[in-house]
Amino acid sequence: MATMTSHDRPTGKAGNLPAVVVGAGPLSIENVVSVARYGAPVKLAAEALDEVRRTRRIIEDLADDTEPHYGVSTGFGALATTQIPVDQRRRLQRGLIRSHAAGTGPEVEEEVVRALMVLRIATLATGRTGIREETLTTYIEILNAHITPVVHEWGSLGCSGDLAPLSHCALALMGEGPVRIDGVPMDAADALRRNGIEPVELHEKEGLALINGTDGMLGMLCLAIHDLRRLATTADIAGAMSVEGLLGTDDVFRSDLHDLRPQPGQALSASNMWKVLADSPIRASHDTEDCPRVQDAYSLRCAPQVTGGLRDTIDHAARVAGFELASAIDNPVVTAVGKVESNGNFHGAPVAYVLDFLAIPAADVASMSERRTDRFLDVARNHGLPPFLADDPGVDSGLMIAQYTQAGLVSEMKRLATPASVDSIPSSAMQEDHVSMGWSAARKLRRSVEALGRVLAIELVTAARGIQLRAPLEPSPATGAVIEALNAVTDTRPGPDRFLAPDLAAAYRCVVDGDVVAAAVSATGPLN
């Protein structure tokens, strides 16, 4: 499980954030992040209630029908042919949630739970699920009260959707199971009572409506896309600083060269690196006819090609996420013309594929970052810097072991790049005989995103020290601003060995909080 950091938890109860409206059209990725991470409140669009009420009447009419209807008057999965007597149907819905809330292992992050909750609410608000109005509005009340159900690491196969994680959330809606409020554990019944919220008694079809969705994997995809966009820009900044500190050239980042290969992400990354290196006295110091270096190493020269590939993959993933955000996932669904139809839209394959895909370029960007760090530490390749950037080599080890840490992270990311979505384990007595493993793909991508941030933080610390060792030569304005931002919370300056872990942790916080990008932008203007 990814290590909890401060951005894994909402910063407060709504604060001044505008409400995110559900039921008036698809949510955006930023809507999801705003609710999940920063605690924005959720508001139901007035027009959504009419459709919710209309389709609920359809479900209630079917409940009285003598013909069996899946999830309304029958059991579930392999028990779909079992007719349920009228007086047992509410018990059926309660039992469905209790039995499906079968997760195990560590708790997942609060922001993940909030993301899947708002996404399920968004689907319920479409009216395609047949949910009752009071069930939907109570779910919104729980989310807005910052009551976060405990959801566990393992339990979802990504088909039929994220059943176990969503069931743990539905359990809280019933006033059962463990929850947290602002990180404090308590029973759901107590949490609801403290906030004046009445537990819901589920009626026909509502159990299915609450749990048959791809919301967990989609929520984690939205969060990953948001974070990777910032990390891609951070990778460009770190790469540019390494080029500068290793006496590389920025000529290869000229736009005319990248116009020859019109990969969109590559051009964006090259433009960023060009801007960060602008007006660098260090760069100008070796721009002479007798400079012995004809070409820089690939890890310097080809950085836009690799980070640009990550950018393009993010854009593809965002396109898939956009389609999923515009979806109403349930089985069965109430169609726009009032028919109740079974379907397979809960299968998580489209989301699972891009979750796996993102882990590949993330690992490669990290791998290239580690190679640049290693060049700084090797006297055979760092063009006049001390071994390991140590103050007194032999007595001091400098940043030797920081590179070990980086290498361990990269190795882990390579393992995490192995796809989960190619696996499938049949379930429910072979009724559900092919599953997506999308939840697993999402969980490993979260670990990969965190690792990438930590890898880039180590490169930034290394490049900052290497650049400062070039004194009295001055860095570019952008690089100088980044070094200043890092030194405000840690110390990247050359000197005797010191306890390094806190420095790396502080640099990581600068990465994930956006301080590195903000510092560079203060000198360059907007970056891609």
Residues forming the active site: 70
3-class secondary structure for 346-406? CCCHHHHHHHHHHHHHHHHHHHHHHHHHHHHHCCCCCCCCCHHHCCCECCECCCHHHHHHH
Q: To which H or E segment does residue 179 belong?
A: strand 178-181
Q: The dihedral of CA 288, 386, 517, 483: what is its sign?
A: negative
Tokens of 395: 């007595």
Q: CA-CA distances (angstroms) from residue 449 to 111, 235, 312, 514?
A: 15, 12, 16, 14
Q: To which H or E segment does residue 266 belong?
A: helix 264-277
d(CA 96, CA 74): 12
Which of 88, 124, 79 has the alpha carbon at shortest distance from 203? 88
Residue 479 near residue 433 (C-beta atoms within 8 A): no
For 128-166, b/e burial (b = at least 16 CB within 10 A) is: bbbbbeebbbbbbbbbbbbbbbbbbbbbbbbbbbbbbbb
**What spatial distance separates the first Cα and last Cα of the chain, rounded to whole Å?**
30
Residue 42 near residue 143 (C-beta atoms within 8 A): yes
Residue 458 burial by CB count (10 A; 0-12/13-18/19+): exposed, middle or buried?
A: buried
